[in-house]
Amino acid sequence: MGDIYYLGEKNESADARMFQCFSFTVAADKHGFYLYGKPFPIFILDVKVKNIKFFSDHVVTDKKSVWFVKLESEKLDGINGEKATVKDSTISDGVNTWQCSDFKSGNEPMYTKVAEQ
């Protein structure tokens, strides 16, 4: 496999063998997501990049975990990837629910855990 370049410079930290582009702004390798070229190294060892699929424009799953990937990337803890659904900006598995925003304001997160049933 070849090397990964970003803005004309070789990216030594990206793993070209595992690198996968999902959209114009979202990619991933074994370390985590890249959003707009910025790395978010949040994966745990058992994440397989080839299993990651989009639920919606900004919500992805590997059928185990669920991540919100808009301006930053965050694993939505407690969401079962097999049972998760996305409706508008709400992600739920019937037990845990997260609300995700379209905007970022200062240091406020773009996602909030809103309910446990």
pLDDT per residue, tens digit, the chain (117 aa), is 567 666 667 777 666 777 788 888 888 888 888 888 788 877 766 788 888 898 888 889 998 889 888 888 888 889 999 999 999 889 999 999 998 877 777 777 677 888 565
**Rounded to 5 degrees, what angle do the CA atoms 114, 74, 94 make?**
40
Tokens of 98: 């997260």
Distance CA 78, CA 93 (A): 9
